């Protein structure tokens, strides 16, 4: 293995500057999908011992113009996988299985007329589910609970459990608490339209 020291890499603050060797791996292997990012991450780690984050790889790909050029079209096999997973798995699980972004999964599901949910539990959500659905920090959920904005019950004495009705009531009573920047729109609309 060629180590980072042998590559004569440079650091700027806490960041490691990309070497020409890493950029070559990026150019050859970047396909605009989550799977290609994972492959690049592993190749760089195995070959040079440098830990690149998925976000860092995607940002560098965008920065050098690769992300703009790559459009990862959905093939028929992927569409069929999405159709079979849509009712069985959460959007995050589908994203992980197909190596696609959550946004890509949501867009394709919409195009195919599929209904996705963040969770495959129909009756209730955990605090972690709400973090993803609302795109907020844990502190926001804690504040809403403390202020009585959202009702809950406990599951196994330590897990917050929010019913669909409780979440819907919160959305209807306190819409100003939601910024809309990172909201999982598919799940959000699904909650609001539940009977």
Q: What is the pLDDT along the chain (195 residues), one digit of tens a residue?
A: 444 444 455 554 566 788 889 999 988 888 877 778 888 999 999 988 888 988 888 888 888 887 654 456 888 998 999 988 886 677 777 887 888 877 788 888 888 888 776 554 556 788 888 888 888 888 999 999 999 999 988 766 667 888 888 988 998 898 888 876 677 776 777 777 765
Question: How far is residue 87 from each of residues 22, 71, 121, 164, measured CA to CA in Å?
Answer: 39, 26, 10, 17
Phi, psi of 109 (to 5 degrees): -60, -40
Question: How far is residue 130 from each of residues 89, 159, 163, 175, measured CA to CA in Å?
Answer: 16, 13, 11, 14
DSSP H helices in 87-195: 91-98, 102-112, 127-134, 138-146, 164-173, 185-193
Angle at 80 between CA 76 and CA 82, to 5 degrees: 115
Sheet-wide strand order for 124-125: 124-125, 159-163, 153-155
Q: What is the bridge-based pairing of β-strands 124-125 and 159-163?
A: antiparallel
The structure tokens listed for 120 are: 């495959």
Digit-coded pLDDT (tens) for 159-173: 788 888 898 899 889
Angle at 99 between CA 180 and CA 21, to 5 degrees: 105
Q: What is the model's pLDDT at position 72?
A: 67
Nearest to residue 135, comparing CAs of 97, 96, 173, 188? 188
- Prediction pTM value: 0.40
Q: What is the model's pLDDT at position 119?
A: 55
């Amino acid at each position: 293995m060629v180590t980072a020291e042998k590559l004569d890499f440079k650091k700027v603050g806490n960041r490691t500057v990309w070497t020409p060797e890493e950029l070559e791996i990026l150019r050859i292997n970047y396909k605009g999908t989550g799977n290609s990012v994972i492959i690049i991450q592993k190749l760089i780690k195995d070959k040079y011992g440098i830990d690149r984050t998925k976000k860092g790889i995607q940002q560098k790909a965008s920065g050098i113009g690769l992300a703009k050029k790559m459009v990862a079209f959905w093939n028929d096999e992927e569409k069929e996988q999405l159709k079979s997973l849509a009712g069985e798995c959460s959007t995050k699980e589908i994203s992980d299985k197909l190596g696609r972004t959550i946004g890509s999964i949501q867009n394709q599901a919409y195009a195919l007329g599929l209904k996705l949910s963040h969770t495959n539990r129909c009756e209730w959500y955990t605090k972690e589910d709400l973090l993803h659905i609302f795109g907020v920090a844990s502190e926001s959920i804690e504040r809403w609970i403390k202020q009585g904005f959202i009702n809950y019950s406990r599951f196994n004495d330590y897990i917050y459990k929010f019913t669909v009705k409780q979440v819907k009531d919160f959305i209807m009573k306190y819409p100003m608490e939601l910024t809309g920047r990172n909201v999982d729109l598919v799940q959000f609309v699904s909650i609001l339209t539940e009977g």
